[in-house]
Structure 1
């Protein structure tokens, strides 16, 4: 089983966020709480799917990550794009900062 983190979209601005160790949400994947194994991943997803979070985030789900030289890196291209922002408009998203 690979390492996994929980991702979702923040409701107020639509940005991609990641569940952190303190139960909050960060725009930076490197702040994510990492689950190693199926049971740990299920616990993370259950926490992120709590009904009271429906006013903060939408659509939480698990993604596979691996430890890279610079920290956590998603293993799927779709998730790499979500962490960086739109690929067709370099003036938008995280890459514009």
Structure 2
């Protein structure tokens, strides 16, 4: 018996900068998970993934990942996606460097 569909977001990496990015409802990419489109229908998820893959010259590693609704937009379900969202594991560069200067 197939597993029930769970909500998803589309994620990838920016080809030039390597940043984690998320596909929005406006057919654009954002570096913020809160701006990602939360897809609740399996057929729609496949169609949106095809739309995102049209931008393959600018992004790499496009895939659907589980997410859940949150107060500020979609939130990750798995540790891996939480880790990707927060940036590199050291404070020398990336999203975490900006947070260390606050």
CA distance in 2 between counterparts of 1:17 and 1:25 reads: 6
Match of 2:79 among 77, 80, 92: 77
Match of 1:64 among 63, 66, 71: 66
- 1:1-97 alignment runs, 5 A limit: 1-50=5-54, 53-87=55-89, 89-97=90-98
TM-score (norm 1): 0.88
The structure richer in strand per residue is 1
CA distance in 2 between counterparts of 1:31 and 1:18 reads: 8
Return 5+ residue gaps in structure 1 as ranges. none
Q: CA deviation at 1:68?
A: 2.5
Number of residue pairs the alignment of both structures matches: 94
TM-score (norm 2): 0.84
CA distance in 1 between counterparts of 2:40 and 2:62 reads: 18
Deviations 1:65-90 (A, max 9, x none): 01234432111111101000112x12
